[in-house]
Amino acid sequence: MEIIRGWHNIRPHHKGCVATIGNFDGVHRGHQVLLDHLKAQGRKLGQPSLLITFEPLPREYFNQSRPARLTRFREKIHILRELGIDRVLCIPFNERTRTIPAREVIEDVLVAGLGIQYIVTGDDFRFGKDRDGDFEMLKAAGEKYGFGASHINTQTVAVERVSSTRIRETLQKGDLAMAEELLGRPYFIMGRVVYGRQLGRTLGVPTANIRLQRYRSALEGVFAVTVEIEGSDEVRQGVANIGIRPTVDGKEPLLEAHIFDFEGDIYGELLKVTVVKKIREERKFPGLDELKAEIERDIGKTREFFSQLP
């Protein structure tokens, strides 16, 4: 899969594609239905599939409550690659992007820059300055410039709409089974292992620390997890705390994973941490002794949980 970073990196060989535009946070089941349709159109027309997305997300740029991210850019790319998308155009969302009229997006980017042959959107899609563009504008532009356009209806699970907002709410409740149903896969977090305060090692429970690099985490607490190290086929079990570590006055959201029966230097390695079951809420303890005792109980509960799996 090719990643095109910014408008200025669109090249002549990128001309000719089928495309979609959106945030695609979570790349959930609703998104996947749309992407399946996009790939089918690409096969029909003999064109590569292209997904146009933004960093930061527009809501983050406008500081509108900054909802918890389901997927960072790295995680989104990982999922899109597995789904077989050919290209991703990542557009920096800034003041210039915000002020581009929808018609200019169509004429300069979609038609002149990318030469799109077909575009697929969700049924509530809006784009351009002041969100002045919609599917009807795209459809009319398609008739003028010679590209097809269609939209995909909202998908439902358990009679409710599949959406990133619903998945965030489901994760916050700790309902990982429903989150998996909505996402079409277990929820995971990816990141490189960084040096921390070595507190886990001090407590006799060494951890692999991953900075979440989000304004907020989509879920918080202590969880049974599986851990995959990039380049290795092994899937290891462990327990992870996701949150701000209130006992030690932490401020930055962090994932701390204790990998069972593992010794090795993995600083700088890329991990994929899949969240399997919630063990408890994150909470503040009176001191480190109490925290250590609770961590030992968490490890016991998590090992017992994994031992009972088929």
Q: What is the pLDDT of residue 217?
A: 83
Query: Is 44 or 61 the better-scoring residue by pLDDT?
Result: 44
User: What confidence tier does 65 reach under pLDDT thresholds 50, 70, 90?
Assistant: low
Contact present, 111 and 19 (Cβ < 8 Å): no
Q: What is the pLDDT of residue 286?
A: 86
User: What confidence tier does 308 reach under pLDDT thresholds 50, 70, 90?
Assistant: very high
pLDDT mean over 297-305: 97
Nearest CA to 228 out of 184, 189, 183, 254 is that of 189
Q: Provide, for the chain, the percentages of residues in helix, strand and coil under a 3-state DSSP scheme, each rounded to the nearest 5.
A: 35, 30, 35
User: What confidence tier does 58 reach under pLDDT thresholds 50, 70, 90?
Assistant: confident
Express each pLDDT in 228-242 by its tens digit: 999 898 999 999 999
pLDDT of residue 248 exceeding 90? no
pLDDT of residue 93 exceeding 80? yes
Express each pLDDT in 95-153 by its tens digit: 889 999 999 999 999 999 999 999 999 988 999 998 899 999 999 999 999 999 999 99
Whole-model pTM: value is 0.92
> How far is the CA of 22 from the CAs of 52, 126, 131, 257, in angstroms?
6, 9, 12, 32
Give me the percent of the chain exceeding a pLDDT of 90: 74
Burial class (CB in 10 A: 0-12, 13-18, 19+), 286: exposed
In the chain, domain spans: 2-160, 186-307
Helix or strand (DSSP H, E) at 98: helix 95-98
> Which is the CATH superfamily of the domain at 186-307?
Riboflavin kinase-like (2.40.30.30)
pLDDT mean over 174-180: 95
Same fold, 2-160 and 186-307: no
pLDDT mean over 201-206: 76
The second-level CATH assignment, the architecture, of 2-160 is 3-Layer(aba) Sandwich (3.40)
Nearest CA to 82 out of 151, 13, 184 is that of 184
Q: Cα-flanking dihedrals φ and ψ of residue 184, to 5°?
A: 85, 15
Average confidence score pLDDT of the chain: 92
pLDDT mean over 147-162: 93
Looking only at the bridges linking them, the beta strands covering 208-211 and 188-194 are: antiparallel
